[in-house]
A and B are shown apart, each in its own frame.
Chain A
Amino acid sequence: MVPSTAARLGTENAGSRSPVGKLGYLLLYVVLIVVAAFQLFPLVWLLLFSLKNNQEVFDLPPLSLPMNPRWENYEKVWSAGNISVYFLNSVWITIAATVLTIILGSLVTFAITRMKWKGSSLVLGLFMVAMMIPVHSTLIPLFSLFNRVGLTDHPLSLVLSYAAFNLPITMMILLGFYYSLPREVEEAAVMDGCSVHRVFFRIVLPMTGSVLATTAIINMIYNWNEFIFVNTFISSDTFKTLTVGVQNFIGQYTTDWGAIGATLMISILPILLMFLFLSDRIVEGIAAGSVKG
């Protein structure tokens, strides 16, 4: 990242400061490190106890490193119970909902920003207001609607709900980008006799690749972590995702700390890996769509 002028000026100033200023600078660092430690500490503790057995958890100091890391905790929970089933369900439901959201979101954002029609601002408003509606206020009717059409205990109920509730945030991230796209390219294409479909699929959509990646990541994180819809709509183990699966699984193993730790680690690992490699995009996406509550 290129440091801004202010940041560069700041660091130069910090070097030439009085001793008091230096001390203050050090103090600021201490504050930031304490906050960072507080944010990370529970996760470090989780990693440590996921590699211990009960005896080690109870008898050794909580932050001691495991002498023989017990990776078998991970093997045990992966094969026991349905954790692997839940994991795969989470993967495909997350991907399906994300793809659906991105396709629908791109189409409607294109129509709103690039095409001329009455009611486009009304439709846009409808999507944006949806962001303020609490999920819980829709839960009972959704449950009975899905029940009526035979979609309770069916993964489609999750894919549709995730897509609908993530459409506004997706569109919000896309909107800024679409507004900034130059019109000349499209105009030239239309002059040459391109159809609207061709303009969208061949010209505009490929240009949005980078922002699409950002929205995809944000969608995946929200979908992967979703709990209340799965908990309400899905009752059979074959369709549960990791969040609810982990919740049930841990309920049965309340006393085996290592197994609980390993299960939790498995459930957060995909997100942590994603964060490790794509943190810039995640930060960008969250900042752009910060209105989601």
Chain B
Amino acid sequence: MDKVMSNKKIITLYVLPALLLILAIVYIPIVLTAYYGLHDWNGIGAMTFVGLAHYQKLLMDGMFWSSAGHSLLLAVFSALSLIVYLIVAMVLASKIKGANLFRKIYLIPMLLSSVAIAQLWLRMYHPTNGIVNSVLESLGVANPPAWLAEPSLVLYALFVPILWQYAGFYILIYYAALKNIPSSLEEAAKIDGANSLQIAWRIKLPLMMEVFKVTIVLAVVGSLKYFDLIYVMTDGGPNGASEVMASYMYRQAFRAYDFGYGSAIGFFLLVICLVVTWAIRRATATKDRIQYS
């Protein structure tokens, strides 16, 4: 058995295609990003080595830091919205008929393409014919704003569809985790006279901490590298008011043809994502995991 199952030729044959693919498409580009970031390069011509000049420029680039601030703001909103999703999931997981149908409905936006969602929300926010302003006008609001053209509003207007898109995803994860809590715990607590709120707060919430940590990492890192809806809906505008790190990188590389600087931003983005993942895991690490069952 062991001899057959450790045949080197066959192992190579099975592993190599996938391994080569992921090395070529994911890992080699990461190394190249770091390398390009140290050069001046327009994407076609010769590269000139400039050392850390791009990173120095990055540190002084006000436009980059304002886009980083926008990404961070999105991360904060995404993380805070998790609390709402957790509450909705708790409601779903408690004595609700049709919970399965509800969580499926919530998930629909996440399954649709970002382009379709972006184009749809562009129409929703249309200053005169969009449904948002139609509703506001019928409620008696005079002159509702042009949401995506207003520098002070655009970022928050964009956050709504982004959160809308992912809400069902997090609710689904929390719901699945809640359903994994053995029902004997809840029954025992009920017999001891605990009410629903106490059960939610004292028993379910502590048991949810592990999955909550995972979703915080997902939400924060997902926000820091967020790109799609913003690129399609406003392209970072008006005047950079909704620029985020990924869209700024894209602009530097594929619009301004500054591939060297774009790569430096791309590499910086990668480092930020890895560091933040590590930092959140570290900050929320608990020595003793609670186990009830």
Contact = CB atoms under 8 A, between A and B. Distances in A.
9 contacts: A28-B94, A32-B91, A107-B13, A111-B14, A141-B263, A200-B14, A225-B112, A275-B108, A286-B169
A138 B26 contact: yes
A62 B262 contact: no
Interface in A123-152: 123, 126-127, 130, 132-145
> Looking at chain A, what size class is its interface with the partner chain?
35 or more
Interface string B18-46: 11011011111110110010000001000
Interface string B56-97: 000000000000000000000000000000001001101111
A138 B27 CA distance: 8
In the A-B complex, list the 8 residue pairs whose CB atoms are closest, starting with the nearest: A10-B95, A164-B25, A6-B183, A141-B32, A225-B113, A141-B29, A138-B29, A111-B14
B277 A190 contact: no
A45 B97 contact: no
A86 to B, nearest CB: 11
A28 B5 CA distance: 55
B129 A39 contact: no
Interface string A269-291: 00110010001001100110011
Interface string B195-221: 000000000000000000010001001
Nearest to B84: A35
Interface of A: 1, 4-7, 9-11, 13-14, 25, 28-29, 31-32, 35-36, 38-40, 42-43, 45-46, 49, 57-58, 61-63, 104-105, 107-108, 110-112, 114-117, 123, 126-127, 130, 132-145, 160-161, 163-165, 167-168, 187, 190-191, 195-197, 200, 221, 224-225, 227-228, 232, 242-244, 246-247, 250, 257, 260-261, 264, 267-268, 271-272, 275, 279, 282-283, 286-287, 290-291, 293
B221 A132 contact: yes
Nearest to B103: A283
Interface residues of B, number: 95
Contact of A243 (B88, B97, B115, B269): B115
Q: For A40, A49, A133, which residue has the most chain B Cβ atoms within 10 angstroms?
A: A133
Contacts of B259: 140, 144
Given A49-B123, A111-B15, A225-B114, 13 more contacts: A4-B179, A10-B96, A29-B96, A35-B88, A57-B129, A108-B19, A126-B19, A136-B225, A136-B266, A138-B266, A143-B254, A247-B119, A293-B218
A138 B5 contact: no
A224 B19 CA distance: 24
B183 A130 contact: no
B236 interface: no
A134 B111 contact: no
B120 interface: yes
